[in-house]
Chains A and B, each alone.
Chain A
Amino acid sequence: MADQIKKENAEEKPRIGVFVCDCGSNIAGHLDCESVAEYASTLPGVVFTKENLYTCSESGIAEIQQSIKEHHLTRVVVASCSPRTHQPLFAGSCAQAGLNPYLFEMVNIRDQCSWVHMGQRENATEKAKNLVRMGVAKSVTLEPQKEIESSLIRKVLVIGGGMAGLSAADAFAAMGIEVILVEKSGALGGLLRKINRLANGEAAIDVISNLIEKVESRSNISVYTGSEVKSIGGYIGNFNMTVSTGDKNIEESAGCVVVATGALPWVPEGLYGYNGEGVITQIELEDRLKTGALNASQIVMIQCAGARTNNREFCSRICCMTAVKNALIIKEYKPDSEIHILYRDMQMYGTEKEKMLWDARGKGIRFHVFDKDKPPDVKNGKVHFFQPLLGETREIPCDLVVLSTPLLPNENARNLARTFRVPVDQNGFFLEAHAKLRPLDFAADGIFLCGSARYPATTAEARSQGIGVASRAAGILFKEKLVTSAIVAGIRDDTCVGCMICLNACPYQAISFNEISNVCEVNVILCKGCGNCAAACPSHSARLKGFMQKQVLAQIRAF
């Protein structure tokens, strides 16, 4: 039945319905929507026009759907806001009314007309008419399309067995999704293995051991330690990868991939006289606290050691909290020790960390600000620094200096980024699809990220990101099948001469050459619908659906 409707939609002489939206006063306040609608009714093929106060409102949508049925519309054109935000709503509404959603066309007369030509009512009205004419002309050339369906493997690959990766693996397994957990080092646990206590006083090793135990006891998680992902192919729903486990290679497949490779503390060779004995890093301090090997009583901590400089511009974000946490722990078991924290800015965000800072001040831990351009000087058992508020240099005698160094991306993050074809930022951390709207996704479909691989994260943040990633990916993995947009390229096998120019033009490696038929073929799952192949093809055999030569030319001719 549905197929029959689609067929009819395409074959009939187009019967076009045009809906002009006032968007309250957003459009109607700056151009004459009534005359635009009136003009639209004179265009060839247009059998119905309507001006709505808000076309996207429930009543506006109902009107579109009703007119499709009453007037047997075979094309719908909405002149309103941007297709980037509203095309899915309108096209979906057309589909509900039985019109193939790819026979819908949208004209932008708000963001790109009424809002940018304010106070030029006449010009804006003329332009809107022109844009509607172009949209209507394109709509005539549209063809019905069928959305692409593909199968998927309900299994996930998690790379990295630290707090984030373990949390993700555990959450996946709890939902009944099979997990392949690949950890590069010989043991699960990541950075938390090296940490003494968390900010809430819990022993880090207890926290991570509990989680490891849980993960290892799950029958649907296969753990590969001392292993690495060598290569990966495929696409969302159907990835296949080779995991090297030291002595042998294992072939695996998964529907989604989670990158949780974490970060490593920077070792500040040559900075502030770092020697691993009298001048150490916070992570080395954690070790001394854990083993009870700390015997210093006059301690100076220097924040931003090697961070927020010209070489490493970013703030590692968790070091202020780490320094205050460790200072409080030292004060707890050695109340008479003297601790000074030299800082540039204290990043103690949120309620708990802010409280820690006030507790630290209350317990006599001293905080001194220093200037980026006048960093402290460590020599002869003393730390000298310029106190900008007093305008003088001060010196603090000490028997231990602790440097708060930043977390750096895992050294093989860049290799992994190349293998997975995902981006990293200027500091080498993995880059998410959108900092605010898609913080756990990569732009590439089916690949996700969490924990310090993305940016230095606290234990709680790594855990919540790990759990978050599991829900993001499970949203895909629990689908019966994947349905993707039909706006993809296709290559006509009767006119393709197999020149393979499109193979180079395709940024997504979605085109391959068929050795048997000697033509190029598009993998529609990998295709992102950019149309580069269509522009490059000398025989016009490669075509982008919805943006075919005749469709764009129809728009130009109506200019």
Chain B
Amino acid sequence: MPNEFTPGIITYACNWCAYAAADLAGVSRFQYPAGMRIIRVMCSGRVNPNFILKAFQTGADGVMVAG
């Protein structure tokens, strides 16, 4: 299947939980699509609307805030 759509997703992940969970997913060898980009923040509370809009503007197909 050529040109299958794989969304590019920016995830803002809290250093203390979601980012650690993403590390754990790796340690556990969970597999997921390679379109995911994780940006580490010290708390999901650091993410302001600007970051989310900017991510879409830059071409992200989806934005996830995890914390």
Listed in ascending order, the chain A residues whose CB lies under 8 Å from chain B are: 82-84, 108, 110-113, 115-118, 120, 123-124, 126-127, 130-131, 134, 487, 505, 507, 529-532, 534-536, 544, 546-547, 549, 552-553, 555-557, 559
Contacts of A532 in B (CB 8 A): 43, 45-46
Contact B47–A115 (Cβ < 8 Å) = no
Contact B31–A118 (Cβ < 8 Å) = yes
Contact B26–A553 (Cβ < 8 Å) = no
Distance A399 CA – B13 CA, assembled complex (angstroms): 63
Contact B20–A535 (Cβ < 8 Å) = no
Contact B29–A535 (Cβ < 8 Å) = no
Contact of B42 (CB < 8 Å), options: A118, A126, A529, A557: A529
Contacts of B37 in A (CB 8 A): 127, 130-131, 134, 559
5 cross-chain pairs, A with B, having the tightest CB-CB distances, nearest first: A531-B46, A111-B26, A530-B43, A532-B45, A115-B26
Distance A505 CA – B22 CA, assembled complex (angstroms): 26
Contact B27–A544 (Cβ < 8 Å) = no
Distance A127 CA – B38 CA, assembled complex (angstroms): 11
Contact of B39 (CB < 8 Å), options: A111, A134, A534: A134
- Could you tell me the dominant secondary structure of chain A's interface residues? helix
Closest B residue by C-beta to A506: B45
Q: What size tier do the contact residues of chain B reach?
A: 20 to 34
> Is B5 close to A, CB under 8 A?
no
Contact A117–B46 (Cβ < 8 Å) = no
Encoded as 1 (CB less than 8 Å from any A CB) or 0, chain B from 30 to 66 comes to 1110101111111101111011001100111000000
Contact B51–A553 (Cβ < 8 Å) = yes
Task: Please give 15 more A-B residue pairs, beta carbons under 8 A apart, in addition to A531-B45, A556-B58.
Answer: A82-B19, A115-B27, A116-B29, A116-B31, A120-B34, A530-B46, A536-B48, A546-B42, A547-B42, A552-B41, A553-B50, A556-B10, A557-B54, A559-B37, A559-B60
Min distance, Cβ A36 to any Cβ of chain B, angstroms: 14
Contact B25–A116 (Cβ < 8 Å) = yes
Contacts of B22 in A (CB 8 A): 111-112
**With contacts A112-B22, A120-B34 known, is A556 near B54, CB below 8 A?**
yes
Distance A115 CA – B24 CA, assembled complex (angstroms): 10
Write 12 A-B pairs (CB below 8 A) sorted by A numbering: A82-B23, A108-B23, A111-B26, A115-B27, A118-B29, A123-B34, A507-B45, A536-B48, A555-B39, A559-B10, A559-B59, A559-B60
| Interface-centre pick from A120, A126, A549, A555 (highest chain B CB count, 10 A) | A555
Contacts of B8 in A (CB 8 A): 559
Distance A118 CA – B23 CA, assembled complex (angstroms): 15
Distance A76 CA – B42 CA, assembled complex (angstroms): 21
Closest B residue by C-beta to A557: B58
**With contacts A84-B20, A115-B29, A549-B50 known, is A559 near B41, CB below 8 A?**
no
Contact B39–A544 (Cβ < 8 Å) = no
| Interface-centre pick from A126, A544, A546, A547 (highest chain B CB count, 10 A) | A547
Closest A residue by C-beta to B40: A83
Contact A112–B29 (Cβ < 8 Å) = no
Contacts of A505 in B (CB 8 A): 45
Closest B residue by C-beta to A537: B48
Min distance, Cβ B29 to any Cβ of chain A, angstroms: 6
Contact of B46 (CB < 8 Å), options: A83, A126, A535, A555: A535
Contact B10–A530 (Cβ < 8 Å) = no
Closest A residue by C-beta to B54: A556
Closest B residue by C-beta to A534: B46
**With contacts A116-B26, A549-B50 known, is A556 near B55, CB below 8 A?**
yes
Closest A residue by C-beta to B27: A111
Distance A549 CA – B23 CA, assembled complex (angstroms): 25
Contacts of A557 in B (CB 8 A): 54, 58
Contact A110–B50 (Cβ < 8 Å) = no
Closest B residue by C-beta to A106: B40
Contact B54–A553 (Cβ < 8 Å) = yes
Min distance, Cβ A530 to any Cβ of chain B, angstroms: 3
Distance A531 CA – B59 CA, assembled complex (angstroms): 25
Min distance, Cβ A64 to any Cβ of chain B, angstroms: 21
Contact A112–B23 (Cβ < 8 Å) = yes
Distance A529 CA – B16 CA, assembled complex (angstroms): 12
